[in-house]
Amino acid sequence: MSWVNAIIQGILTGGLYALFACGLSLLFGVMRVVNLAHGDLATVAAYVGIGIIAVTHVPFLWSIPIVVAIMAVVGYVLQRSLLQAAITRGELTTLIVTFGLSIVIENGLLQFFTANNRGIGVGSSLISSSFSIGSGLQIAWLDVAIFGLAVVVLLGLQYFLSASKYGRLIRAVADDREAAQLSGANYQHVFGICAALAFATVALAGIAYGMTTVVSPTTGTDTILLFAFAAVVIGGLGSLWGTLVGGIVLGVSQQIGAQINISYELLAGYIVFLVVLVIRPQGLTARRSQT
Amino acid sequence: MSTSAAGVPEQQRAPLLDVRNLIVHHGQLRALSGVSLQVFPGEVYAIIGANGAGKSTLLRTIAGLHYPTEGQILYDGRDVTRVRPDKRATAGMAMVPEGRRLFPSLTLEENLKVGATFARSGPWTFERVYDLFPWMKERRGQKTAQMSGGEQQAVAIGRALVANPRMLLLDELSLGLAPVIVQRIYGMLPEILSSGVTVLLVEQDVSQALRVATHLQCLLEGHSTLEGRPADVTAEQVEAAYFGMGGHHAATAGAAENIAVEGSEA
């Protein structure tokens, strides 16, 4: 029964990892930007959420749309300024710039929020309780809610990309930036919208993480960025649903590893990650040139 | 014809596109050395020249994908020399780029939709494009990557047309296509012209260009070597302008290759 439990917990955690990963995948798929500050931005979102709840005393659910909106605006502005300037100078520059951004954010958070762990209190509602199936299976409603959120986010992204005007432009710009310009599209604005979208998912990832556990200023690179990378690579670069597959594979591997020995949790995840890189470097959901 | 925006009576006489003394560099290499041209509404202006003569560079500079080192580009009387390519597109300049450059992960219809996103109002609708290329209607849901070169070229033309351009820039339509297909594609030109579009085209296939053009200019190593109406120039003049005078063929070919390599990188 404990193995079944491990697998179910792993699948549910995979939803959280998919949330971590889809923004990273989107930025890479469209702009070829490997955003090394991805995890830190999620941490910032969690802290913004904590701050909003502490200052305004709104219920935690209300803080979610506010944080998402703030991060989307931050994403657009950051893309049009810093990231665009880096993109113009070449792909390597984007790595250096986002790496620098990551360091600045971490130290800024340390300065303002100290190194203490903080979490987003979900209060005692339905979502903080759990239900049990059979004897040994305890499932938290929060984990189910986050998994559901991840699926809804991916569905929403897919619908936006395939059916909306700007979604189509995002795919066109990802395919051929020059040709899109010749059709009248301001590709920098399209990039900005794509970044806003990615940062909105980053915000959800950060808040979800802050609700399930605690964040500290270094959580971004220690945990979120690494798991996001692993999920993206396992699932397949640039594939949206691949991030969910990758997240689930990563989550299940970690839980199974932990079941064998609690200290193997992270190790097992990274072993699977490496095995996938060796055997199927294009990822499990290998569909080429798919954003 | 459809748009005389300013309502100026002498609109007909004013050039739609006025390129003055354009100098363009690719890095250290000078691809264009002072090329000028004037395209009047309703014309089919053809730029001919050998591989690497600077034809595509000229067209890309007019579309805004390169910025010139010196010179001026006036479109509809407005200086657009430093204007972004997407702004030129929304002002009514549409380009069918060399090598088609479709969006491979999008379907045929989605490619057209992208072309129509920032369209001006005008006669070109999806229906009219489907009338021009009847096979498209049934295959509009297909990804363009699986289509033949000629079909892709047609989609690229359709994508430019649905933007309802005043000025259509066609870059090497014949490149990599079978002669029959080239004939068929150029066969669409009268219909396109009758909708009031002015055409500036670049073509390596001289006979094809001479057949459709009302005005032509020949480039050689970034210089203009011949300009005039097809009726006023002789085959000998075209040949001399195309290959360069005298016995410099070997040297010319070498230089042209250099430019071509530089050009394809940029």
Strand pairing of B198-203 and B29-39? unpaired
Domain that holds residue B224: 11-265
| Order of strands across the sheet that contains B215-220 | B93-96, B167-171, B198-203, B44-49, B215-220, B223-228
CATH number of the CATH domain containing B221:
3.40.50.300
Determine the 3-state secondary structure of A215 from DSSP: strand
Phi, psi of B38 (to 5 degrees): -125, 125
Does a structural domain hold residue B20?
yes
Does a structural domain hold residue B63?
yes
Name the residue of chain A whose CA is nearest to B118's CA: A184
Q: At B220, which amino acid appears?
A: L
Of A130-139, A141-150, B62-71, the poorest mean pLDDT is in A130-139
B159–A165 C-beta distance less than 8 A: no
- Best mutation target among B65, B67, B84, B86 (most A Cβ atoms within 10 Å) is B86
Domain boundaries, chain A: 2-279
pLDDT in tens, B206-257: 988 999 999 999 999 999 999 999 999 988 899 899 988 754 444 444 444 4
Give the length of chain B. 266
Q: Is the pLDDT of residue B264 over 70?
A: no
Please state the rounded mean pLDDT for residues A221-230: 94
Does a structural domain hold residue B37?
yes
Q: Smallest Cβ distance to A179: which of B97, B105, B113?
A: B97
State whether residue B97 sits within 8 Å of chain A by CB: yes
* Distance (Å) from the alpha carbon of B233 to chain A's nearest alpha carbon: 34
pLDDT tier, A177 (very low <50, low <70, confident <90, very high otherwise): very high
Does a structural domain hold residue B3?
no
Does a structural domain hold residue B1?
no
pLDDT value of residue A126: 63
Does a structural domain hold residue B120?
yes
**DSSP secondary structure letters along A78-123:** HIIIIIHHHHHH-HHHHHHHHHHHHHHHHHHHHHHH-S--B-----
Q: At A280, which amino acid appears?
A: R
- Contact between residue B41 and residue B16 where contact means Cβ atoms under 8 Å apart: yes
**B224 Cβ neighbours under 8 A, 6+ residues apart:** B34, B35, B36, B217, B218
B102 interaction partners in chain A (CB closer than 8 Å): 176, 179
* Residue A258: Cβ within 10 Å count: 19
A168–B159 C-beta distance less than 8 A: no
Which residues of A make CB contacts under 8 Å with B? 165, 168-169, 171-172, 174-176, 178-187, 289-291
Does a structural domain hold residue B217?
yes
Does a structural domain hold residue B244?
yes
Could you tell me which of B17, B24, B102 has the C-alpha nearest to residue B60? B24
Please state the rounded mean pLDDT for residues A249-261: 95
State whether residue B114 sits within 8 Å of chain A by CB: yes
- Give percent of chain A above pLDDT 70: 96
The reply to whether ipTM tops 0.90 is no
- Give percent of chain B above pLDDT 90: 73
How many domains are there within chain B? 1
CATH, range A2-279? 1.10.3470
Name the residue of chain B whose CA is nearest to A291's CA: B105
pLDDT in tens, B21-41: 999 999 889 999 999 999 999
pLDDT value of residue A58: 86
